[in-house]
A and B are shown apart, each in its own frame.
Chain A
Amino acid sequence: MRKYVDLKVWSFSSNVNELRSLIDVGVEMGFWALGITCYPEKLEKTQEIVKKLTSEGYRVFTSLEIELLSPRALRIMSKLMKKRIFLSIKPLSLEMARRAVKLKASSIVLPINRNKLIFDSVCAKELLKREGAVEIHLVDLLKSEEKKLLRAIRMIRLEVQIARKYGIPIIVSSGATREIELLDPIIMASIAETFLKIPKEAALNSISDYPCSLLEKGGFI
């Protein structure tokens, strides 16, 4: 039996009850564990909530996402690296991606809205050394406009091919911001298979085996 994991469920609300019902929906969908995601400003608050939910028996963990727009953002990284959280970096340019892969982040998120490739073979070689993974948010893909979606799929498919060529695991997460946006694991695997053109087994691994091994390796659960 596969253990499905959704690494990114955004927690914009600090209401514990709302989060509890969101997690309940996720569990009902068949997820084994869920990552409660936030930006660095809300890290402490999210960690508190996660701690409370974990004590209630929920299988959740803190997942942090940092957008890397300029080198200035790298300053806060050293502090965050020491914390026991699932850390993802979202580089917004190729230069930032090359810097991001050198950091010990759990995953590199491929942004949807952009015009150029941000993940090339140089990044892939470096990421392979650090045992990182490439992550894609499906809800962002599903929500994007027709033209942007076309461009995003073209670029992400190429980036996924590059990553797979170097044996880097591809991880797929929902990136849901609301309860209604949570996706069923079978649907997530189907979208990954169709949109990212990855084989069925790899698509299923991208929501189960790969994230599970990252969680176990980091001791997040």
Chain B
Amino acid sequence: MRAKIPIGLIPRKRYVALELKGELDARRLISLGTKAVQELYGILGASGLKMALKYYKGSIAIIETTNRDLPKVLTALSFALFRSGLDAQLKVKGVYGTIKKCFQMLKRQNL
């Protein structure tokens, strides 16, 4: 049985397509990002924040978050990269409301 939550309480989902450049893979990015989220926003801030790796292939990763958390997630990811000292860079390919649109964009760009 699925719990029912009033519509207004659920923030809208966002799917961020990222291109990872340099010595970095998606799993590492997420583990670094999770640590950075706790470091930056603390336990309370991190508890309400959604960040999940939905798909990755080669240098492309799709991260699921919400409209509300998007700036915090992107900040945490780039903060994590700077802290790690890795020679790596993030490029936002696009932000979409559904994962389907995200894949459509990747297909259009042959990624």
Is B82 in contact with A187, judged by CB distance below 8 angstroms?
Answer: no
Q: Which residue in chain B gives the minimum CB-CB distance to A29?
A: B91
Is A190 in contact with B71, judged by CB distance below 8 angstroms?
Answer: yes
Q: Which residue in chain B gives the minimum CB-CB distance to A146?
A: B39
B74 at the interface (CB under 8 A from A): yes
Is B90 in contact with A187, judged by CB distance below 8 angstroms?
Answer: yes
On whether A191 and B95 interact (CB within 8 A), knowing A180-B89, A200-B71, the answer reads: no
Q: Which residue in chain B gives the minimum CB-CB distance to A189?
A: B71
B34 at the interface (CB under 8 A from A): no
Residues of chain A within 8 A of B39, CB atoms compared: 146
Residues of chain B within 8 A of A193, CB atoms compared: 71, 75
The answer, among B72, B88, B90, for a CB contact under 8 Å with A184, is B90
B6 at the interface (CB under 8 A from A): no
Residues of chain A within 8 A of B89, CB atoms compared: 180, 182
Bound Cα distance from A159 to B94, whole angstroms: 32
Bound Cα distance from A142 to B74, whole angstroms: 13
Q: How many residues of B contact A (CB 8 A)?
A: 18
Q: How many residues of A contact B (CB 8 A)?
A: 20
Q: Which residue in chain A gives the minimum CB-CB distance to B92?
A: A186
B62 at the interface (CB under 8 A from A): no
Q: How far is the CB of B3 from chain A (nearest CB, A)?
A: 30
Is B71 in contact with A194, judged by CB distance below 8 angstroms?
Answer: yes
Bound Cα distance from A195 to B89, whole angstroms: 20
Interface majority SS (helix, strand, loop, mixed), chain B: helix
Chain A 2-23 near chain B by CB (<8 Å), digits 1 or 0: 0000000000000000000000
Is A142 in contact with B70, judged by CB distance below 8 angstroms?
Answer: no
Bound Cα distance from A189 to B87, whole angstroms: 22
B8 at the interface (CB under 8 A from A): no
Residues of chain A within 8 A of B88, CB atoms compared: 180
Q: How far is the CB of A166 from chain B (nearest CB, A)?
A: 25
Q: Which residue in chain A gives the minimum CB-CB distance to B89?
A: A180
Q: How far is the CB of B6 from chain A (nearest CB, A)?
A: 25
Is A187 in contact with B79, judged by CB distance below 8 angstroms?
Answer: no
On whether A187 and B78 interact (CB within 8 A), knowing A29-B91, A180-B89, the answer reads: yes
On whether A191 and B72 interact (CB within 8 A), knowing A182-B89, A184-B90, A186-B95, the answer reads: no
Chain B 82-101 near chain A by CB (<8 Å), digits 1 or 0: 10000111111001000000
Residues of chain A within 8 A of B91, CB atoms compared: 28-29, 184
Tell me the B residues contacting A by CB distance below 8 Å. Answer: 22, 39, 70-72, 74-75, 77-79, 82, 87-92, 95
Q: Which 3 A-B pairs have the closest CB atoms?
A: A190-B71, A190-B74, A142-B82
Give 27 pairs: A residue, B residue, CB < 8 Å, sorted on A: A29-B91, A139-B82, A142-B78, A142-B82, A146-B39, A183-B78, A184-B90, A186-B74, A186-B92, A186-B95, A187-B74, A187-B77, A187-B78, A187-B90, A187-B92, A189-B71, A190-B70, A190-B71, A190-B72, A190-B75, A191-B71, A191-B74, A191-B75, A194-B71, A194-B72, A194-B75, A195-B75
4 A-B pairs besides A142-B79, A191-B79 with CB distance below 8 A are A186-B74, A187-B74, A191-B71, A194-B72
